């Protein structure tokens, strides 16, 4: 186990994702100058992440450090950038024919630090992936 912050022993943590930071692309994205920064980059990439278990520490180009491992956290408090599963959100899309249209949906899953899954509230009721920057939380 490796962490850069205090872990509360009274909380029942669960595995949120396995082998996080392990692909070549992720190793390049999460590389840092220090081990602490590499751990934080890997843990913060997963919404609700608290610490790593079964981790490996790599050196990249003999200068940088990258970390791979299973990210553990508390799924009940899982949120990212103020968004949680079950939050109602809205977004707009520009259309050449119809102009700007507004859509709404409910967050069904938090994928990573960039995007989440949203179940649309319309006749189709499809699940789409959207960036956190494109959506706005609607008060319940």
Segment 11-58, tens digit of pLDDT: 888 888 888 777 777 777 777 889 999 898 888 888 788 899 999 998
Query: What is the pLDDT at residue 25?
Result: 76
Q: How far is CA 62 from the centre of its chain?
A: 28
Mean pLDDT lowest for which of 58-67, 71-80, 87-96, 113-122? Answer: 71-80
Per-residue pLDDT at 96 exceeds 70: yes
pTM reported for the whole predicted model: 0.63
Phi–psi pair at 134, nearest 5 degrees: -90, -10
- Of 112, 111, 110, 104, the residue nearest 135 (C-alpha): 104
C-beta separation of 127 from 136 below 8 A: no
**Domain 80-137 fold:** SH3 type barrels. (2.30.30)
């Amino acid at each position: 186990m490796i962490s850069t912050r205090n872990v509360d022993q009274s909380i029942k943590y669960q595995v949120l994702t396995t082998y996080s930071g392990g692909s070549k692309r992720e190793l390049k994205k999460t590389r840092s100058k220090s081990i602490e920064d590499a751990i934080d980059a890997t843990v913060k990439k997963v919404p609700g992440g608290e610490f790593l278990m079964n981790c490996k520490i790599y050196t990249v180009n003999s200068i940088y450090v990258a970390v791979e491992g299973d990210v553990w956290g508390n799924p009940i408090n899982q949120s990212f950038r103020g968004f949680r599963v079950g939050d109602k959100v809205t977004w707009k899309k520009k259309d050449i024919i119809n102009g700007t249209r507004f859509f709404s949906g409910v967050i069904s899953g938090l994928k990573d630090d960039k995007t989440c899954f949203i179940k649309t509230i319309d006749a189709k009721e499809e699940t789409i992936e959207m960036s956190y920057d494109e959506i706005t939380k609607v008060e319940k």
